[in-house]
Amino acid sequence: MPEYKQRLLEFEARKQSDPVTNNPATGRCPVSGKPGKAVQIQTVKALLKVSLRSVRNTEHFFCADKDCPVVYFTADGTQTFRVDELRERVYQKEPDNLEVPVCYCFQHTSGNIRAATADHRQAILADIKAGIKAEQCVCDLRNPQGACCLGNVSKLIRQLEKS
């Protein structure tokens, strides 16, 4: 059994035994145990493909751990939304999948960026910056992390230039 499935089963068991005291509001993913990044509720609502009737009006966090199937979880840890419940593929969960966007607003995929020459990579960065400046991005509604992709794109390019 993959490790995350084991963690998922443990989480479900904990939740059933005592949903409140066993899952204090730490901002840590109840499955991976890693700290999450707070996201706005409209990001969660925009990215989910399941009925929004299940979304509670409470603080949500984004889990960036590659090996964890949870994308969003509530502050109290009692509710999670997993990769298969989102409308988008999540870059952090599939960093090596060439079809997954790194920049969701302007549709630059991991594959585009990897295949590009050094000059073209700088052009992609410039395109994103120009789009941000022209207020053409809606990172909070498009990017599952609920924030601008620029850091992820820059980081990927730096990694590629090194290798």
State the Cα angle at 23 between 18 and 29, rounded to 5°: 135
* Binding-site member from 70, 103, 105, 156 for Zn ion (CB under 5 A): 70
Nearer of residues 32 and 74 to Zn ion, judged by Cβ? 32
Nearer of residues 68 and 100 to Zn ion, judged by Cβ? 68
Backbone φ and ψ of 107, nearest 5° = 60, 50
Nearer of residues 65 and 94 to Zn ion, judged by Cβ? 65
Site string for Zn ion, 18-57 (x = CB under 5 A): -----------x-xx-------------------------
Smallest distance, Å, CB 64 to Zn ion? Answer: 8
Cα distances (Å, whole numbers) of residue 145 to 10, 17, 67: 26, 31, 16
Using only the alpha carbons of the chain, give its radius of gyration: 17
Backbone φ and ψ of 159, nearest 5° = -60, -45
**DSSP β-bridge partners for residue 48:** 86
* Binding-site member from 44, 48, 63, 149 for Zn ion (CB under 5 A): 63
Q: Does 68 help bind Zn ion (rule: CB under 5 A)?
A: yes
Smallest distance, Å, CB 31 to Zn ion? Answer: 5
Backbone φ and ψ of 76, nearest 5° = -85, 0
Q: Does 90 help bind Zn ion (rule: CB under 5 A)?
A: no
Smallest distance, Å, CB 32 to Zn ion? Answer: 3
Nearer of residues 86 and 113 to Zn ion, judged by Cβ? 86
- Which distant-in-sequence residues (6+ apart) come within 8 Å of 44 by Cβ? 55, 60, 72, 81
Q: Which residue has the tokens 């052009």?
A: 123
Smallest distance, Å, CB 28 to Zn ion? Answer: 9
Residues of this chain that bind Zn ion (CB under 5 A): 29, 31-32, 63, 65, 68, 70
